[in-house]
Amino acid sequence: MEAILYFGQTMVAFLTVLTVLVFVHEWGHYIVARINGVRVEVFSIGFGPEIWGFNDKSGTRWKFSWIPLGGYVKFFGDASEASTPDSNLPEMSEEEKKQAFHYKKLHQKAAIVFAGPAVNFLFAILIIAGMYFSYGKLELAPVVGGVLEGGAAEQAGMMQGDRILTIDGVEITNFRDIQIHLMLKVEDEVSIAVLRNEEVINLNFNLYMVDKEDILGNINKVRQIGIMNNPEERELIKYGVFGSLWQATIETKNLTMRNLQGLGQMIVGDRSVKELGGPITIARVAGKTAEYGIISLINFTAIISIGLGMINLFPIPVLDGGHLLFYAIEAVRRKKMSDAAQEIGFKIGGVLVLSLMIFAFYNDISKYLIDILSVNT
């Protein structure tokens, strides 16, 4: 019974997060399309056969579909959900052309396509800003509150009360910066500058690899300095409306850069591609996050919204970034790419995206089976 309840909670949390983010993303496309006079024929949450829907007064069909992994808006003049041009475009009347996506100016089409990912980032900023405005931001000073016995820091001579100034040349302003730096670090060697009794001391040593449990209970090897924070060296910073928005924008930018850095490390082989998670991992984390309360789930939604916006901007045909790439090429050449070239691009992009999805599913299933086997043994 407990397993059924946990599964139900996981699915509810996952579908709630996914539905909200898909709606936000597609609404970005929808609203900018409407502003630019494009008729929207379908606004779908999910793919495949329709579960339920209705038509609004402008003729748009709003619906939920059976496959919940995404969604789409279909513009007037599109042949499919991928926004490929309809073969009947040349036969349209002048009045119909005014409402067709493919007859809009280049900058209008680019704005419509870009709006989806842009609204995902904006949505994340608003969530994070709301948290900062409501609860403030807790800052822990980068002061060593304790040194773990037998850890790397103790061996290197780090002492309680040391204030960490830089790690590997990167400025450290709070204790969270230390954790983030170590999370993205792929080398064992570390160089740390600390302030001790008004004197700057440089320490160079190797980090220790330790076992750490993640939110799903998996044990992972992580690099650790071997220090604890000082709970007395903390400050709760309160922000107004504009301060919250500014800090949220900075945090969204930082999260995006860390995502890109981690992905780049996977591409060059510095980080294992097994860390790449798919829908199953997202669902499990959503369910686990929901156990900590609605605030944790909302924060998780902001993080996933940033990832969704970032991925959709990758210059891969079939993704929004791929369409923007074609528009950029068209702007430089002052000539539209041929339908044949675009079709080849979409096929290549489709294969890449499908391959990535299959690989992510494989990682998800592998991790899930390992978890089940470890529990049963």
What residues act catalytically? 26
Give the distance, in angstroms, between the CA of residue 353 and the centroid of all CA atoms in the same chain. 16
52 CB-side CA count, 13 A: 0
Q: Are 89 and 83 in contact (CB under 8 A)?
A: no
Q: Are 361 and 355 in contact (CB under 8 A)?
A: no
Instruction: Give CB contacts under 8 A, 24+ apart, made by 60-66.
Output: 60/30
The tokens for 281 are 């991992």
Closest CA to 205 of 228, 231, 227, 175: 227
Cα distance between residue 271 and residue 276, in whole Å: 10
Cα distance between residue 28 and residue 118, in whole Å: 7
